[in-house]
């Protein structure tokens, strides 16, 4: 045991001096451990392998700052954990950006599709009449909330204050209004979405 410890101490000293064979010894000893450790964070074996390789490159570049044999393992684990957490944060930001971009593209596509449809005056007049009739058929308070929200562009808090009701009541009336209108205007659902249901 003591002999092995002395042997490893000699290898460590050679590693500190830039001996690549000594570096390979520690690489072979710890690589699988670091890769397995990283997989626990990012659940991607290939990415974990890349990250482990990066950790050892960083170790080699900073070998003079490692004070002991145990310091090698500590250095590798600390670096790997930091990189894993950074990768997780980066992916969360990237996913949010992708979702925001997708929503924007979807909205642009809806507008492009609407613009590509040619309506004559009679069709638009008929559509407007049907929508107005459907809105007028809503229960009085539900209709009032819907008009204030969609046509007067008022916020829920403003509507609640004006009508002396709670925010939850405003939200409930809007949900009810949209449900009724989507049922009555099922044949015009896409246009309804573009014209009055899109924020």
> What is the tens place of the pLDDT at every residue in 52-110?
999 999 999 998 888 888 888 888 888 888 888 888 887 776 667 656 655 665 555 45
Neighbours of 61 (CB within 10 A): 9
Contact between 22 and 11 (Cβ < 8 Å): yes
Summarize pLDDT for 118-170 with one digit per residue, the tens.
444 445 566 677 778 888 888 999 989 988 888 888 889 999 999 999 999 99
């Amino acid at each position: 045991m003591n002999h092995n410890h002395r042997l490893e101490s000699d290898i460590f000293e050679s590693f500190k001096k830039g001996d690549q064979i000594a570096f390979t010894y520690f690489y072979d000893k710890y690589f699988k451990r670091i890769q397995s450790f990283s997989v626990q964070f990012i659940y991607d074996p290939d990415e974990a392998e890349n990250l482990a390789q990066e950790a050892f490159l960083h170790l080699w570049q900073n070998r003079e700052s490692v004070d002991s044999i145990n310091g090698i393992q500590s250095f590798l684990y600390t670096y790997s954990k930091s990189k894993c957490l950074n990768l997780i944060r980066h992916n969360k930001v990237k996913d949010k950006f992708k979702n925001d971009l997708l929503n924007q593209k979807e909205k642009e596509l809806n507008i492009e599709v609407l613009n590509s449809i040619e309506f004559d005056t009679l069709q638009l007049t008929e559509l407007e009449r049907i929508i107005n009739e459907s809105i007028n058929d809503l229960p009085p308070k539900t209709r009032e909330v819907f008009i204030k929200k969609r046509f007067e562009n008022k916020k829920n808090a403003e509507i609640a204050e004006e009508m002396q009701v709670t925010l939850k009541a405003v939200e409930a009336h809007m949900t009810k209004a949209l449900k009724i209108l989507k049922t009555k205007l099922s044949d015009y659902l896409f246009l309804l979405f573009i014209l009055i249901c899109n924020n």
